[in-house]
Structure 1
Amino acid sequence: MGVGGRCVWVEACALPVLLWFLHCSVCLLQMFWILLSDGESIGNCPFSQRLFMILWLKGVIFNVTTVDLKRKPADLQALAPGVNPPFVTFNGEVKVDVNKIEEFLEEKLTPPRYPRLAPRHPEANSAGIDVFAKFSAYVKNHRKDTNQALVKSLRRLDDFLRTPLPDEIDGDATGDLPESTRSFLDGSELSLADCNLLPKLHILKFRFTEWGTHIPAEMTGLWRYLNSAYKREEFTNTCPADREIEFAYLDVAKRIK
């Protein structure tokens, strides 16, 4: 697995970690990512997927290899003691905060060589910001109030996706504003905001289906968004295997049954 360069896979046991070698003109960046189960499939970690999508969209060259976390090398333990992936190193400095890593990548990988991924519309950054928190609350306690809170959060996201952005509005038009037709939060292309939200929505959508629940069909903006995302390889090729999501929520599934 990789983008723009050769990928090298090294066989590993369970609970490996990914070393991502990002080759830039001025630096060597390493990203570490925990995988699960078979040592090959992408693990259920929306934060790791977020960073993977950013690297893919930036179009950088990087290689991927795996290291058995049960036999974690001493130098890796010394690098970030007590820290779980994802994290990166740059010029010997360890960066462990996902938001800071995102800022770093956007700051260092700039046009014209690399595309700008920051949203043009600031409101895109906060769209759906509480959806996963509401989903997690519902997962922990399947009550009517937690379900209502989750649905309310999804409706707010749907409303945002159905409302046209300023550059979609014809200043000379009269009457009611038409519904937005954009594919993603910030427009027709994926942005940093999508890299943050989509991995979480994928988990939510998958778990809903497994639990016999579905995102309401009338949320047309949200469904347009998801359908657009599943057409993009930067998203689909970085999603975790279904069995990894099933494993992560196994206890919840048993409680529901």
Structure 2
Amino acid sequence: MSGDGTDVANGTQAPDETSDIPKYDLYIRASLIDNETQGACPMSQQGFMLSYILAQEKNVDFKVWTVSQVNPPADFKDKNRAKIYPFVEGISGKDTNGQSIAGVMPESADKVEDFFDSVNFDCPHLKRPKNLKDHILGKVDGITTQFNGFLKGLKSEAVLTNTLQKVDDHLASNGTTFLEGDQLSYTDCFLLPRLQHIIVAGEYFRGYEISSDMKHLWRYMRDAYDSPAFSETLPADEDLCKFHWTRLPDNLITEFRKNKIKGVFGVESPTHKTNKIPEKIAKSLDSASNGGHDDDDDDEEEEQEQSME
């Protein structure tokens, strides 16, 4: 596990041991490249984002630890026998029912979700939606399977694009910054890490690009990149691509190598994080917000009017 963990409780002092504020350790998958920095597991980033926002809202105090996938510590393997990520271990404090969380270690992914709900006092938007039938989360919860299938040639590009179009349509009809309002919600913490995989790995392996016509989706991504809970929990692009590379069957690896996709993500290579939308799309969004033309167009029109006078 990395160092002494990272305290991201919004720069606040950690509560003392008698405090009722829930305090816990969050364990996420480490990088497959250096085995120390944050890895590309989307579920790990989802839990990291939830914890980050809860800490910002003074609901919790937590430290995040990265766990090597090559050689996890023996004591951690004893704790996390189910091999779930993210994994949490309660340190001190009480949950919303007034029960101590000291020593609590959820043994399934669903129980980890329950844990996050149990330490969430003041952020109803970060709780899991109970009825998914008509909820946007219910329309996108299969996006990981769709994307993985697309990368492996088992699902068509159209299936993935159709789901992304649902997101764009939802944002258009809601008129909100994020999926459920103007602040990040549980649904955003679920979807955004997976959209990052589509943007980065989709382009790397399949040359896939989200259509520039999905302006509401791209505006959503731009606002998300401006949110620390998302931008500061992002994995490196190289690690994200290696995350998928290690899951490809041998025949696909051979195919990609023939197409000059080498799949080499060494520690010697400079790392990069995609944390902004493409410049051309950003200009298009700015142009649309200015009534269909940009400031340069305004300057040209003004000069033409002056010359006519």
- TM-score normalised per structure 1: 0.74
SS at match of 2:105: strand
The corresponding residue for 1:49 is 45
Cα deviation for residue 78 of structure 1 reads 2.2
Q: Which of 1 and 2 has greater Rg? A: 2
The corresponding residue for 2:224 is 229
The corresponding residue for 1:117 is 126
Q: Take 1:192 and 1:76, find their aligned partners in 2: how far apart are those partners? A: 27
Cα deviation for residue 50 of structure 1 reads 0.4
The corresponding residue for 1:83 is 83
Length, aligned pairs only = 224
**Which residue of the other structure, out of 126, 132, 137, is the alignment partner of 2:149?**
137
Q: 1:58–1:109: 8 Å Cα contact kept in structure 2?
A: yes
The corresponding residue for 1:216 is 211
Q: 2:126–2:185: 8 Å Cα contact kept in structure 1?
A: yes
Q: Cα gap change, 1:125/1:242 in structure 2, threshold over 3 Å: closer, same or farther? A: same
Q: Take 2:68 and 2:207, find their aligned partners in 1: how far apart are those partners? A: 36
**1:38 equivalent in alignment to 2:34:** yes
Q: Cα gap change, 1:2/1:192 in structure 2, threshold over 3 Å: closer, same or farther? A: same
**Which residue of the other structure, out of 70, 90, 97, is the alignment partner of 2:108?**
97
CA deviations 1:134-187 (Å, max 9, x no partner) are 111111116xx61121111211222112112xxxxxxxxxxxxxxx2x111001
**Which residue of the other structure, out of 175, 186, 197, is the alignment partner of 1:192?**
186
Q: Which has a greater percent of strand? A: 1
**Which residue of the other structure, out of 1, 4, 24, is the alignment partner of 2:9?**
4
- TM-score normalised per structure 2: 0.63
Cα deviation for residue 119 of structure 1 reads 7.3
Q: Take 2:240 and 2:75, find their aligned partners in 1: how far apart are those partners? A: 31
Q: 2:30–2:69: 8 Å Cα contact kept in structure 1?
A: no
Aligned-residue identity in percent: 27
Q: Which runs of 5+ in 2 are unaligned?
A: 1-5, 12-16, 91-101, 260-309
Give the AA of the match of 1:43: G
Q: Take 1:224 and 1:196, find their aligned partners in 2: how far apart are those partners? A: 18
Give the AA of the match of 2:112: I
What CA RMSD, in Å, does the superposition of the two structures yield over aligned residues?
3.1
Q: Take 1:201 and 1:70, find their aligned partners in 2: how far apart are those partners? A: 26
Q: Take 1:125 and 1:69, find their aligned partners in 2: how far apart are those partners? A: 30
Q: 1:161–1:185: 8 Å Cα contact kept in structure 2?
A: yes
Q: Which runs of 5+ in 1 are unaligned?
A: 7-22, 165-179
Q: Cα gap change, 1:228/1:96 in structure 2, threshold over 3 Å: closer, same or farther? A: farther
**1:238 equivalent in alignment to 2:233:** yes
Q: Cα gap change, 1:82/1:117 in structure 2, threshold over 3 Å: closer, same or farther? A: closer
